[in-house]
Amino acid sequence: MESSLQKALQKAKRKQAFKIVIISIVVVLVALATLYRAGSYFAAKSTARLHDALFLNNEISGPNIQIDSQAISSRSMFEGNIVTNRSKNIDGYVVQWSTLTSSYDWFRSNIDTNELVPGFYRYGKELYHYDKQTKQKVGIFYHPSIKNYYGGVKNDLNAVSQMKNYVAEVAISFNRPYTLKEIQKQIPNNLNIVWLYMASPIVNESKGPAGMPVYGFDPSDSPKDAYNEFTTNLKKYNADAEDETIQKFLASNKDKSFDKVKILGVMVTGQTQNFKALENKDFIRGASVGATAQMVPYIKPEK
């Protein structure tokens, strides 16, 4: 009798333990499924946010830089990377530019600013900026309100125009702001205006490069529409109103039509011999050559 009771109790205990195990497994599976769905949701949100931020940053501060593709790599439920492949169009010649590897997790996204900021090589009072991966020279803009730059304000036009069988991009900075109509009268038709330099922070550049961003846009086929999109992007980029340079630019141009808006410089591309027409022009304060490419018989320049 006692033995049967013990067996019954043991059987009941086994059943109870089995139920607990089953319930625990179900709870764990549900929890894992919920965590996976939540993780996938937050990861997808962070991925989309970083994608948009990368495109937005390039739209307003990537002088003649195109994003060719963006792909997710090293992705997990909690974090991942986005690899951004970039290039430059130098008068019809596509030139490789540095690749960005930006990261995100559930709550944060970080653009690869290390590769966005160019490196610089300094010797004595001379220096030049370069893209850290391709080692191509980076064209630098000079703000008309900054009087002293370390190493002085460069003008590479004479050197560029002597290069044979090359295409090049040159960042041209003006002695004062001009409207687009005034600029178009000065730039020869055999050169391409591919980017308009609109604003940048005014800082001390006399002791070395400060690494400040420049803001501008590709005028494309419709400069007015491109400008309207640029100001919209600036507002989106500076939604927290923390960037004083952007705030000042938007405020000073709030009620102006685009034909009245002043431009600080332009990025121009073309065959190197065509830059000779810009030598010794009074409206040019500085001209900094950027990426170049040697011409080949099977690729025709745009101009």
Amino acid at 203: V
User: Is residue 209 a contact partner of residue 130, using CB atoms and an 8 Å limit?
Assistant: no
pLDDT for res 1? 47
**Is pLDDT of 59 > 60?**
yes
Q: Is 108 exposed, middle or buried, given 0-12, 13-18 or 19+ CB atoms closer than 10 A?
A: exposed
pLDDT for res 79? 82
pLDDT for res 96? 96
Q: Which positions ≥6 away from 191 have C-beta within 8 Å?
A: 268, 269, 270, 274, 275, 278, 303
User: Is residue 146 a contact partner of residue 286, using CB atoms and an 8 Å limit?
Assistant: no
DSSP 239: T
Amino acid at 141: F
- CA distances 94 to 31, 211, 260, 269, Å, are 50, 26, 33, 12
pLDDT for res 84? 97
- Measured CA to CA, the distance from residue 61 to residue 48 in angstroms comes to 20
Q: For 8-17, 205-214, 225-234, which range has the lowest pLDDT when averaged over its residues?
A: 8-17
Q: Is 22 exposed, middle or buried, given 0-12, 13-18 or 19+ CB atoms closer than 10 A?
A: exposed
User: Is residue 153 a contact partner of residue 146, using CB atoms and an 8 Å limit?
Assistant: no
Percentage with pLDDT > 90 across the chain: 70
pLDDT in tens, 175-205: 999 999 999 999 999 999 999 999 999 999 9
Report residue 10's pLDDT band, with 50, 70 and 90 as the boundaries: low
User: Is residue 100 a contact partner of residue 48, using CB atoms and an 8 Å limit?
Assistant: no
pLDDT in tens, 124-169: 778 899 999 999 999 999 999 999 998 899 999 999 999 999 999 9
What is the distance between the terminal CA atoms of the chain, rounded to a whole angstrom? Answer: 105
